[in-house]
Chain A
């Protein structure tokens, strides 16, 4: 394959190419670590993270998201930088990465750096270049802002550990939910080569906790934890499979976040779904994020939300409503008495409003107008709650009836999926990926 390796192109072109190649990585959060500046350099971090801009696709721009190089010896079918693609190849130097990060940061464009990379020569060689860039940024430039870095699967554990002491967050991408899909689409990666560095980072973080307990000023290892991402819709896995993988990642690998990335067809390949005019499966991605939220903050389990018989989310109803409709025997609950955990399970009551309710009901008995002020979405909650023993209106507690009404109230979909036509909805609702796929979830 003819490849053009350009070393002498200008900075502007280079940045264009290497950010364009990095944009399919979803994660752009700068959260998870709270750190004041030490007064001797530049930068600080806020636990909630700070977005600095929003690109034309409505996604937040928080970090300078770039690849160190888009040269790659791997040939992952879905990736724009796969070795068999004929694209312009280029690399940054560690100095260039530092200059860009520092100058962007001081103009308040960004919250820090997100450094990923293609695999140049070998995983170790690439990891060393990344280490050189981060070392310079932290120790020479005294940068104290946020750094998110990718661990390259297959790199030496010692290198990964050293990089981890310079970064705030590390991530290794799962890429695809099952080992089988991985074998098909990412022939140079295996389940093992991905999970090994993940486990390594997890174990080192555990050790670091003890070090910090003994000595408060011990260097911190990946203080904002690790994350990963999976591509949705490139392979036939069901939502149930995907959610189970996510759940085990949270439980067994102690991940901070799992990101889902609706598959965007950038390559033509017989192994990939054909390009269609429908665009990426954004609504499906949205439902997975909602379910992910339920796992992390609402104490749900994957098997409560889906099962072998219903392996995919209802695209018309959010996962929480869907769950509640299947468990009507639990409802209605009395807002003035129900446990916090029970309130969390009511559609229309979120974490914040549940906390407010628990606080406010100590001061007095709540009625529906109070709930409204606290941010409860009554048009959804009204079928599932009572205030002082009374429901808001006379309603039947019956699955069909409530479903019909909930569908009529029209869920406020996020802008990221709004504007999709009914036709698109019904199209990928019909897609049946064959749920009796062999179960490959031996995480």
Chain B
């Protein structure tokens, strides 16, 4: 009978389930399911797996050692996606890796459906993370903290935090993911932290500094004047910068959602 390991939808949770699955059933047919979005199947045994830092850490070391850092990055990014079968796909890739000659090159075997799946999930998450390196907009609060809100499809905060830490080491900043209710917070001289499911004082985000409005105005003015009217092309703009990102972006505040080509 196929065993399905159930876990919560967090990277540590899923890695814990992969640990149990690997220890008990790596030679058998087994799967990983997410508690939150489970479709019960017949002829399956379900086992619930508790979140365990120890188990997750062991799996990470296993993956890095035998499959390489690049593969681990792909796994990690895939696990941040919204796909309910992500953990299952990662587990199946690990199983496939046992039968190839050089397990570090497992991600090159794109003809394997599990590899293909993890590859494309990882790419989706990576691409979205890159988009937010571009489109995150900070606003300065009264206390000098740089504050940003985003609504990404995947949980990409941990993919972009290093970039901004390196870029703004002397700033206090935070980026909030409104959809997944997560927040990455950076304090000067500290490593960033990821905070989950916290209630935020709604008013904080309305208290902007004196100069914030002026710089937002300057930027919006620049944004408008840098375009060449003879070359105007809203379709092109839309393809590079889809509407769903614009609600949180400074330069699109107070503009109609879609401006028609003149």
Contact = CB atoms under 8 A, between A and B. Distances in A.
Contacts of A36: 166
A20 B229 CA distance: 11
Contacts of A64: 222
A374 B140 CA distance: 44
A16 interface: yes
A23 B225 CA distance: 8
Interface in A262-299: 262, 264, 279-280, 282
Given A57-B231, A279-B231, A11 B218 contact: yes
A107 B167 CA distance: 11
A127 B169 CA distance: 32
Interface residues of A, number: 55
B147 to A, nearest CB: 10
Contacts of A416: 231, 233, 236
Contacts of B139: 107
A79 B140 CA distance: 38
Interface in A402-443: 414-416, 418-419
B251 interface: yes
B99 interface: no
A56 B137 contact: no
Given A15-B221, A19-B226, A264-B228, A52 B250 contact: no
Contacts of A280: 230-231
A106 interface: yes
Contact of A415 (B136, B167, B235): B235
Contact of B108 (A43, A53, A363, A373): A363
B251 A53 contact: yes
Main secondary structure of the interface of B (DSSP, over half): helix
A389 interface: no
Which residue among A22, A40, A108, A364 has the maximum number of chain B CB atoms within 10 Å of its CB?
A108
Contacts of A316: none
Interface string B44-61: 000000000000000000
A206 interface: no
A417 B175 CA distance: 37
B169 A51 contact: no
A108 B160 CA distance: 13
Which residue among B137, B227, B232, B249 has the maximum number of chain A CB atoms within 10 Å of its CB?
B227
Given A23-B226, A416-B236, 9 more contacts: A11-B218, A42-B170, A57-B236, A106-B146, A106-B171, A107-B138, A415-B236, A416-B231, A418-B235
10 smallest CB-CB distances across A and B, nearest first, come from A58-B236, A415-B236, A55-B227, A57-B231, A56-B227, A58-B233, A54-B241, A54-B240, A20-B225, A58-B237
Interface of B: 108-111, 116, 133-140, 146, 148, 163-164, 166-171, 211, 215, 217-219, 221-237, 239-241, 249-251, 259, 261
27 contacts: A15-B218, A15-B221, A16-B222, A19-B226, A23-B228, A39-B169, A44-B167, A51-B134, A52-B134, A52-B135, A53-B134, A53-B135, A54-B236, A54-B237, A58-B236, A61-B223, A104-B218, A106-B168, A106-B171, A107-B137, A108-B136, A264-B231, A279-B231, A415-B236, A416-B236, A418-B233, A418-B236
